Amino acid sequence: MATYASVLDSIGGTPLIRLTRAAGTLRPRVYVKPEWQNPGGSVKDRAALAMLRRAEADGSLRAGGTVVEVTSGNTGIGLALAAAHLGYRAVIFTSSSIAREKQDQLTAYGAELRLVDAFVPRDHPDSLRSKGEQFVAETPGAWLAQQYDNPANPAAHYASTGPEVWADTDGAVTHFVATVGTGGTISGTGRYLKEVSGGRVRVIGADPVTSSYSGGDGSQKYIEGAGHFVHPEAAVDVWPQALDVDVIDDYVGIEDQEAIDAIRRLARTEGILAGGSSGIALAAAFRIAEGLTADDTVVVLLPDSGRTYLSTYFNDGWLAANGFTGPADRDRPGGPTVGEHAAASPLIERDETVAEALRRLAADGLADDDPVLVAHRRDGRVLAPHHSDIAGCTTPARLRGAATVAETVRPVGVRLGVGLALTDPAVTAWDGADGGIALVLDRGRVTGTVTWRALHREPTLALTEQAG
């Protein structure tokens, strides 16, 4: 059994596990690399340690200094772990939308958590990135890791992850599949595998279908840590310098529901509990494997554990609230649902002219008081809008006589999953005092609206029908 001088020395060296039941009738060998076996629980431990060590070496981080990062969680956890061991202060800027388990893990290591939820472009003074940079500028001895642009990020994977995959497959790997977030993991690992194999290994970028990396519209998704989001008001789509696009041979776009299905199936067939971004990689790998032969070996990197997402992707209540499905849906008793009372509301854009909006709505035959969803502009929309793209709602009546669409918009703060029963607490707790309109989510996307009146018009009758 190996022994280590410190917890930092135990980073890396994760195994490969062959899938049998989850891979079904697929012909190639499919192995997964469970990166949660790193001490901080994710693949990001590798980059976090490499970035910190490089900062120490070049003098950017000195004794008594403060480690700072803007992150969706896992890189912050890796940095917080290393900072705790080495005696640095850690300050992590993130969003309150990340899994609660990640937030708790960060504070468990002693990191100071700064939550920033302003929905603004990355260069706006109130953005998550700007707040982190401002803190560093105002704090003596602070060092910002900048994982998206730090060359130590991909270098860590070139030095460790790539060689491990090659050695553990005895050079038989033919396809390497990983998600694309900062780009460091797939770039460093992929570059090593291509070099050592003489270009034989194919590198597959598993990406949310909306991610701009693989040609999506840049809209938000529910799977944390994978893909590239572009704010609808951003002037430029800035990609990270850690990403080497020349390393990636193909992209495979995966929807949130497909990723969730993949990890839940993995847990129930293989006993392997993996996180959401692992589902993106796994679903992409299975799709690629369908066209391969028994001579091929596919290695899929799984970034983190499902233990971090027990309150989300593995929670049937969370799935239902956001319009996703899970195994429990097969056994759920019948009865009236939100979807049965919802309406497919038309969509107009916040910055289009009032005249054009009214013309299109008139063509759809809308009544004066019918709700109309107002979205931020997003060219080439791939799916129905994510709720972050919805500015609010309006009506044809409010639009008439208005100078702009924006001035007629009223926010919609309630979101209900399409499959929620009318007896669900999320439905019964809604009192309608906020305007009486809720967004309806189907597989995480806004597909329409439902009014409080529609759900509560005859509550006694609805409950009687359900009981019967």
Residues classed as catalytic: 44
How far is the C-alpha of 462 from the C-alpha of 466, rounded, in Å?
6
Quote the CA–CA distance of 69 and 91 in Å, as a whole number.
Answer: 7
| Residue 86 amino acid letter | L
Q: What angle is formed at CA 404 by the lines to CA 402 and CA 405, rounded to 5 degrees?
A: 95
What is the amino acid identity at position 311? Answer: S
Q: How far apart are the first and last CA of the chain?
A: 62
Helix axes 74-86, 44-58, angle to 10 degrees: 50
Number of H helices, E strands in the chain: 16, 16
* H or E element at residue 355: helix 354-363
282 in Cβ contact with 300 (< 8 Å): yes
272 vs 30: CA distance, rounded Å: 14
Task: Name which of 17, 53, 70 is nearest 155 in CA terms.
Answer: 53
Cα four-point dihedral sign 276, 280, 283, 286: negative
Is the Cα dihedral 218, 219, 220, 221 positive or negative? negative
CA distance readout (Å), 216 to 203, 206, 381: 19, 13, 8
Yes or no: say if 374 and 409 are a contact pair by the CB < 8 Å rule: yes
DSSP letter for each residue of 189-239: HHHHHHHHTTT-SEEEEEEETT-GGGT------SSTT-S----TT-SS-PP
Residue corresponding to tokens 């499905």: 325
Cβ(148)–Cβ(241) below 8 Å: yes
Q: Which among 261, 259, 240, 282 is positioned nearest to 75, based on CA atoms?
A: 240
Helix axes 74-86, 100-108, angle to 10 degrees: 10
**43: which DSSP letter?**
T
